[in-house]
Structure 1
């Protein structure tokens, strides 16, 4: 069965986009409805089915141009999800680890190894960084919302990606720096208890997962714009 011009156009657009399946399906459905409405208008004007669809496609725009706008929207959607994961997930992990440490290990006074002065500086820095991550993420969400009402999707997506990358990078750097410094001082502190060790591993996995999500947005948009 021969594919219609609109179906072929939508299939090409589908291949050009990367993002959540549901969000991408909504964008493709929006494009399909617009194309079919335009083709219907051309048919009413006397054009045959195939020519009406081709003219509707020409009016709609080339796949590369439309894909850039649609991918920006998909990237913004992905960026917002990543930022919410930062805003909610990082404090939740921090609070969960502290609560678990109190319940399964107890007070820091039980530690037998001394804390070097440099380690105290690093812990203060990394804790400040970890607590700053949700603030940066929330700021990025507010900026994205404000920009989306005033600028095009490509510019909004770019700002969202930059702010998201800053927050994700700060989180990963803080977590890895704290784990590395703790391992140097006393590796046993990384596993105060079984649940604490499990939560620590989960925190590292979450941090790298956030990097992957942020990287996907950057890589795909760069490919389309190039």
Structure 2
């Protein structure tokens, strides 16, 4: 039996698109449903299935024609996904390490300069991520998303994901280990897990930013 051309169409489109799995799956499923309905409508006009499929593709566009506009939407979705991950991760870890510092520091103890610098980098990235969420959300009512914003968010996420483990290490080695080691171990483990999650999302954001989208050549 010959393969269903709709399956081939969907497979080609799926392979060409990159972005958050849930958003991508929902987008492809919506396109598939629309294509199936259009093919069914043409089949009802007494066209053979293959000719009905070809007529439907002329209305929908080929996968190659659809990819730029679809990828533009997915790139924005990935940008927002990374920005949210950055905000959650940085906010949670700053609070976690602040709690450790509050419990374990002695009077007159100061944060090491390296920790302050690295924490400032991560916090600044989180603040910029919040701005990116606004720029890809409510602000789109009045102006388009800046072309370079996905790449900027991707690199912000990468920078923060690198800074946080180093800040955690510097912080842990400067603390009185005997008094707060359970908190240090817990915070360190959460930092490693958060680093992996944020680094993966940031890398995906940078990859999406390099893909052609509608309106570019």
Question: Alpha-carbon deviations, 1:173-223, whole Å to 9, x = none?
Answer: 54356457x48xx94549562321431343244234312211123225535
| Equivalent-residue separation in structure 1 for 2:176 and 2:196 (angstroms) | 18
Answer 1 or 2: higher relative contact order, Cα 8 Å, separation at least 6. Answer: 2
- Indicate yes or no: 2:202 matched with 1:207: no
| Equivalent-residue separation in structure 2 for 1:19 and 1:60 (angstroms) | 21
Any conservation in 1 of the 2:154–2:205 contact (CA below 8 Å)?
no
**What does 1:110-149 align with in structure 2 at a 5 Å threshold?**
120=113, 122-146=114-138, 148-149=140-141
CA distance 1:3–1:108, change in 2 (3 Å): farther
Structure with the largest fraction of helix: 1
Any conservation in 2 of the 1:76–1:157 contact (CA below 8 Å)?
no
Q: Which moved more, 1:126-135 or 1:83-92?
A: 126-135
RMSD across aligned positions (CA): 3.3
Q: Which residue does 1:11 correspond to in 2?
A: 11
- Indicate yes or no: 2:188 matched with 1:196: no
Structure 1 unmatched runs, 5+: none
| Equivalent-residue separation in structure 1 for 2:55 and 2:81 (angstroms) | 37
Distance apart, 1:148 and its partner CA = 4.3
CA distance 1:190–1:178, change in 2 (3 Å): farther
Q: Which residue does 1:164 correspond to in 2?
A: 153
Structure 2 unmatched runs, 5+: none
Q: TM-score, normalised by structure 2?
A: 0.76
CA distance 1:30–1:224, change in 2 (3 Å): same
**What does 1:37-76 align with in structure 2 at a 5 Å threshold?**
37-76=37-76
Q: Which residue does 1:107 correspond to in 2?
A: 106
| Equivalent-residue separation in structure 2 for 1:130 and 1:222 (angstroms) | 24
CA distance 1:25–1:178, change in 2 (3 Å): closer
